[in-house]
Structures are given as C-alpha cells and as structure tokens.
A and B are shown apart, each in its own frame.
Chain A
Amino acid sequence: MTEAVGATRSCRACGEAISAQARVCRVCKSPQGWTRLLFQWKEVTVAVLALVPLWKAAGSLAEMAHTEPKAPVVRASALACDSGSFRLALTNVGTSAGLVADVRLAYLSDGRRIEPGVDLVPEGDEPGLVLEPGEVVTMALAPRISGVPTVLQFPRGGGECRAIALVRVKTFEENDSVVEAGCPCP
C-alpha cells in the first residue's frame, strides 16, 4: 500500500522522478497522458493545418486559370432562300448571351465567293437580336441595300451555288465573330 502511494516514475519529457499518478511533471510541466503527443507534434500539426487554406487557395487559382471564360456560341442554319427572303434558325449553345448584330449576304459559286453588298434585315426592321444561352429562334430576313429593299439575284454559272448568310455575333465585351449558314441557290 505504502509502496503504491509513494511510487514514482520518470517524467516522459525531462526524466525527473515524479509521482506515478502525476498527470503533469512537477519540474517541466509536461503533460504525462496522451495529450502530450499533441504538444510533442504541435509544430507538425500547425503546419498541416496551415496547409489546408493554402491548398484551397491554390485550388481556386487553378480553377480560375483553367476555366473557359463565359461566351456565346451561336449556331445558324438556313431554312429557306429565295429572291425575296432568307429564313434562318439560330441557337446559342454557349454560356452567355450573344447579340446578333447584322447579317450579310454572300454567294459561293463554283468555288468563288461573291459578296454583293446586300444586308439581310429582319422583317419589320427590328435592330439586333439578343440570344440567351439555350435559346432557339427563327428569323425571316429581307434583302436591303443601305436600307432600301431589293431582290436577290443568284449566280448563273450552272455549277455548284450556295447562298450564304454571314451572321455577325457580338458579345457584351465587344468581341465579334461570324457564323455562316447557307442553302443551295434556287
């Protein structure tokens, strides 16, 4: 019994003799239970914990660097062409809205491209068209020269001939791109 009360052991940190029941060393104040491990490895623990926000920040930066910027991707298809009108279907498969600024006419005749200076204007003369992502619209376009109505004259070469609508798409950052859609000359 007496032996048990007066039993000692060495401090795990400084090696001084301390009571076998002591939870903290009377000399160096080091904890003697499992919590001592926390203090023993505190620098490593702090370092590991500090890496978490750094890792997160690095991940965010990498994401920003590699993510495509939001942009409209407009696709067009010509549904019908004749001398008095041109019908187009347009869709935006991109990630932001696009503005259909204007549409011009071109012909492809026997491999030769001809741009006769004719605008294709939405019937009703509505200026421009905003295409939201995922939106699909059809447009009836009428030929105009400086706003004055005209009729289309298709090439007469006898070979392959296509009438092409050149659709100029603008982003709100003022970037332009041109999408083409054509159909065989009537």
Chain B
Amino acid sequence: MPVPMTRANAAARRRRAARVVAVVLLTAAPAALACDPAIDPLGPRAKVYLFDYGGAESADARDRHSQFQAAMLDKAERWGEELSRLGVGADYLEQLQVIKAGKDALAGKPALVGRYWKDSHALQLMSGIVDGASGQYSVRSRMYLGELRGGLESSSLFVGMPITASQFGNVMDSHSIVTFYALAVDAERRHCDRAVAIALLNSLNEKVSDLKRRGGQLDPGVELVATAARARLDELVRRP
C-alpha cells in the first residue's frame, strides 16, 4: 500500500538519499576528495575566531560568558570527531579550531570585519553580546561568514538563544549548524569533490532535525541557514 507523501517523510527521504550519495561518493572515490590546491594554497578555511562578547560586565554575566566560550572551544574538538566520522579529509581535522581572539576590536568597523575575515583566512568570525536584562541570560551571536555565505542574503547571521543549563546543547548545536554550512560552502569554493559538501550538509540537516525534535522552534538565523543548506543539498544530490 503506497505511503502518502508528507513534508516529514519527504525530508526523511531527502536525508536518506543524501546519506546514500555521500557514502557512495566517499567510499568509491577517496582519491577524488582532494581539493584543487590552486584555488587556495592556504587550504581550507578552518579557523573560527571567537571575540569576547559585549555586555558581560557583572560577575554573573562574565561567568556565563566564560561558560559559553569554554563550551565553544570544547565543541570545536567534537567537530573534529564528527568530521572524522564523515570522512571528509584529514586537512580539516588538523586545522579546524576555535581561536579566542580577545577583545572585539572589530565592533562598529564593518569594513575592517570583511578585511579581517579575508586576511586571517578565517572560516567565520564570532562576536556578540550577553544579555541578562530580563533576569535570564541569553547570547546573541553575530557569525560573519564573509564570502562563504553561499545562498544566504547576508554574510552576517544572528543567532540568539538563552544560555540556561537546559538550553546549552541547543545553543551549541545552533552555532555548529552555521559552522558546518560555512565548511560546506568552503569545500565547494575549493573545488573539493561534491561528496565533501554533501556529507557536511547532510550532517547539518541531522543537527537541524535534532534541534527541532528537542526545542521545537528554530532560531530565525538558524532557520535561514537550514533552508539554504537544504536547497544546496538538493542541487548537489540531483546533479548527475
């Protein structure tokens, strides 16, 4: 008996198809994973610069900010594990890292943000504010992707979430989604085998599904990335 096509099972089918394509491409042609070194001799953009967030004036806010930064640094190590499982190439594993960049010297200098992103060979620049005005602490991150915005309208994405113990996993996954999106666009920029971008976007989609399952509503910034990632994944999977 045919199963009626719903949005949920269409998405599941898309994910399965992407996973199958990624697995086939990654296992069948490992040699092809090499990217074109002539595109960028410096290799993948794999450094996330994490500037100090504003608004962390009180001792409590500073504590929350430190927790957030520590969690981001910890998350970077897990990204390495995830990428290792995806089999997208060793060069990411060696280089992907979150760098604490100290005081946000780029704040209020839009021209400098673009230049810094370009010249530092960054994957993304993270800055933002810690807000505790309503009694509940939240972060609002600005994630600058420069030329890795792909199908997004702007290079700057804003992701805001409460930083409570229960929400910490969601905060980290929301930020990871943006990072994986930037990695996928970077892989395409460097003319890597499409299996790399497919694997990254597929992993991103799984994180989106997990987030929805746990929290229901996605942050608007994350939703924008998820939409752009789905569109790009469909194009890549359909390509002969």
Given contacts A147-B105, A148-B105, contact A153 B43 (CB under 8 A): yes
Interface residues of B in 1-56 (CB under 8 A from A): 37, 41-44, 47, 49
Residues of B within 8 A of A155 (CB): 41-43
On A, residues with C-beta under 8 Å from B are 107, 109-110, 112, 114, 116-118, 145-151, 153-158
On B, residues with C-beta under 8 Å from A are 37, 41-44, 47, 49, 91, 95, 99, 101-102, 105-106, 112, 115-116, 118-121
Residue of A nearest to B49 (CB): A150
A145 touches B121 (CB 8 A): no
Q: Is the interface of B mostly helix, strand, loop or mixed?
A: mixed
Q: How many pairs of A and B residues are in contact by the CB < 8 Å rule?
A: 57
B112 touches A114 (CB 8 A): no
Given contacts A146-B112, A149-B102, A150-B116, contact A116 B41 (CB under 8 A): no
Quick one: which of B41, B44, B91 contacts A109, CB cutoff 8 A?
Answer: B41
Q: A72–B116 Cα gap in the complex (Å)?
A: 34
Q: Is the interface of A mostly helix, strand, loop or mixed?
A: loop
Q: A118–B117 Cα gap in the complex (Å)?
A: 11
Residue of A nearest to B121 (CB): A153
Quick one: which of A110, A118, A147 contacts B41, CB cutoff 8 A?
Answer: A110
Quick one: which of A116, A150, A151 contacts B42, CB cutoff 8 A?
Answer: A116
A153 touches B42 (CB 8 A): yes
Quick one: which of A107, A146, A157 contacts B115, CB cutoff 8 A?
Answer: A146
Quick one: which of B41, B42, B118 contacts A117, CB cutoff 8 A?
Answer: B118
Known: A116-B119, A150-B49, A156-B91. 12 other contacts (CB 8 A): A114-B42, A145-B119, A145-B120, A146-B115, A146-B116, A148-B106, A148-B112, A150-B101, A151-B47, A151-B120, A155-B41, A155-B43
Q: A154–B94 Cα gap in the complex (Å)?
A: 12
Given contacts A116-B121, A156-B37, A156-B91, contact A145 B43 (CB under 8 A): no
Residues of A within 8 A of B120 (CB): 118, 145, 150-151, 153
A156 touches B42 (CB 8 A): yes
Residues of A within 8 A of B119 (CB): 116-118, 145, 150
Quick one: which of A107, A146, A151 contacts B99, CB cutoff 8 A?
Answer: A151
